[in-house]
Amino acid sequence: MTEQEFADRAEAIKARLYRTARLYLGSEAHALDAVDEAVYQGFLHYKKLRQPEYFDTWLTRILINACNAELRRRKRELAVAELPETAAEEFDALPLREAIARLPKELRAVIVLRYFQGLTLAETAQALDIPPGTVSTRQRRALSLLKLHLTEEV
């Protein structure tokens, strides 16, 4: 894979990466930063990619790692300073987004990749580096929790 091929393929999936990061982080600015970081890290290491047909999954995994790093950084910042009341309003007030944000991290990852990124069960398992059976179990648990969250709001 050449630098130009990397740039073309990364540009082709940037919108999908942004949607994933937005769901993970809840903020447009943080999502843009995470996508930029993922593309940058991917560019630094694209020669290590053994199978170019898995480029999308590989770059998605890098994005997930960038999002998790951002969430860890935010957690450290919030431990030091108290969250202002207006920060809760930053996240869109859509019930589905709120319900997804309430899910545990490992369940949220499966839902975002399966339903918002459109990955298959096998691709999701590969992106998260877990067995397909675990993806299936987490998906069922997440969907039942989402159903509970959304029905109690109605």
Give dist(CA 81, CA 95) in Å, integer.
28
**pLDDT tens, per residue, the chain with 154 residues:** 888 999 999 999 999 999 999 988 888 889 999 999 999 999 999 988 888 898 999 999 999 999 988 888 877 665 544 434 433 444 445 788 888 888 898 898 898 888 888 888 888 888 888 998 999 999 999 988 888 888 876 5
Number of C-beta neighbours around residue 133 at 10 A: 10
Note if the pTM is more than 0.75. no
Q: For residue range 123-143, what is the model confidence (pLDDT) as tens digits?
A: 888 888 899 899 999 999 998
The domains of the chain, with CATH numbers, are 1-91 (1.10.1740.10), 92-154 (1.10.10.10)
Residue 55 is predicted with a pLDDT of 92
Work out the burial of residue 86: count CB atoms within 10 Å of its CB; fewer than 13 is exposed, 13-18 middle, 19 or more buried: exposed
Give dist(CA 56, CA 16) in Å, integer.
10
